[in-house]
Structure 1
Amino acid sequence: MTTDQETIIINQIIGGDTQAFAVLVDRYKDLVFTLAIRMLKNREEAEEVSQDTFIKVFKALPKFKGDSKLSTWVYKVAYNTCLDRIKKNKKHYNDVAIDSFTEHQIKTVDNALDALEEKEQQQTIQDCLQQLASKDSFLLSLFYFEELSLEEISHIVNMETNTVKVNIHRARKRLAIILKQQLEPETIQRYERERS
């Protein structure tokens, strides 16, 4: 959606055009739900948070200044709504220790993943993302699946760009550990032998 199209839709929504709001919801609903489920790890809560996100977007739209793309702003609202829900529920997820994980092992996991069929690879990654902490899953989704820039992500999560970069790198290491546990041991061993 171009900036001009965004401006037109925003003005229509502010003017009370419910059809224009339906277009906005339709455009971003899948993404908002995906991000919510990655952070909350619960379908029912993700659905509730998605609805809450669009209610907040509707109410706050007149205050949208346009300093970022509309999509970035919607992601930010979704992210903050998820954080509010996590704080409310006080849920804690297991973190994976990364101290002993080497770059060589990450490369080995990447090579093993390349050997999987694309659909199987996507499903494996999706399953493993569900096992990550909410923040890690969210950042990786924005960076790799939504292909947002580091600057856009930093705006969404209120972090410095370099901090986002470091967090994505660490999240990727944690994902690699989980992927290694998921992949068949013989596949990993074959690739380790090839690299020796």
Structure 2
Amino acid sequence: MTIKKDQLLIDQILGGDKQLFSVLVDRYKNLVFTLCLRLLKNREEAEEVAQDSFVKIYKSLSKFKGEAKFSTWVYRVTYNNCLDFIKARKRKFQELSVDAYDDFEIEDLDSAINNLEENERKKAILGCINMLNEDDAFLLTLHYYEDQSVKDIAEIMKLSVANVKVKLYRSRKQLAFILKRRLSNDMLLNYGK
């Protein structure tokens, strides 16, 4: 239903009713900001890039062909805009080495996480996602928090479905490493109390 509503709004905006763009902004502002925040890891920069993303979406609205969902197109524009911003500031993020961890340790970690209370688990996972590099954080956010399919993520990131699956696996592995390290540190701190 939203797909048809989006297309109707787009047609009306392109037909001259430019005020209706605010409806699209209201509909997608939270997801655009969330994706920017995941990639940029800085609230002020995320707000700036989210605003800029909507300017780009507005200016290129006539290029939307309807071949994919409008939300997928919005993700793609936002993602590319974030990448451009990152390239411009030339900031490099540290990558963690996770080669020493196997699938069994990841499964053990999943069991340990399931024992945490829901709010603590969400906070821990979001905090750890923010420690990942921007692509991995973006990918996991799309998949788990925005419920995007692997196919939609492939369209957004301009990757093959197989490549997205591999990246998801590696991102989960890195997240497991970070969570395991954080849980171990928390347990040691709590043990002394």
Q: TM-score range by the shorter chain?
A: over 0.9
* 1:29-108 equivalence runs, <5 A: 29-108=29-108
Tell me, what secondary structure is at the counterpart of 1:53?
A: helix
Amino acid in structure 1 at the alignment position of 2:117: E
For residue 96 of structure 1, report the CA deviation from its aligned partner: 1.1
| Corresponding residue for residue 6 of structure 1 | 6
Q: Contact 1:112/1:187 (CA < 8 Å) preserved in 2?
A: no
| Structure 2: runs of 5+ lacking an equivalent | 189-193
Deviations 1:112-171 (A, max 9, x none): 110111111111111001100000000000011111111111111111110011001100
Q: Specify whether residues 18 and 47 from structure 1 end up closer, same or farther in structure 2 by C-alpha distance, changes over 3 A only.
A: same
Aligned residues: 188
Whether the 8 Å contact between 1:32 and 1:75 is mirrored in structure 2 is yes
2:132 is aligned to 132
Give the TM-score normalised by the residue count of structure 1.
0.91
Q: Distance in 2 between matches of 1:121 and 1:186?
A: 13
Q: CA deviation at 1:184?
A: 4.3
What CA distance in whole angstroms lies between the structure 1 residues aligned with 2:126 and 2:35? 12
Residues 6 and 24 in structure 2, CA contact (< 8 A), matched pair in contact too: no
Amino acid at match of 2:122: Q
Report runs of 4+ in structure 1 exceeding 3 Å deviation. Answer: 184-188
Kindly indicate whether the alpha-carbon contact (under 8 Å) linking 1:98 and 1:173 is maintained by their aligned counterparts in 2.
yes
Map Cα deviations across residues 55-101 of structure 1 (whole Å, 9 max, x no partner): 00001111100010000000000000000001001111111112111
- In 2, distance between residues paired with 1:88 and 1:186? 37
Cα deviation, residue 186, structure 1? 8.2
Name the counterpart of 1:152. 152
Query: CA 1:104 to 1:73, structure 2 compared with 1: closer, same or farther past 3 Å?
Result: same
Q: 1:122 is matched by which residue type in structure 2? A: K
Q: CA deviation at 1:15?
A: 2.5
Give 1:187 shift.
6.1
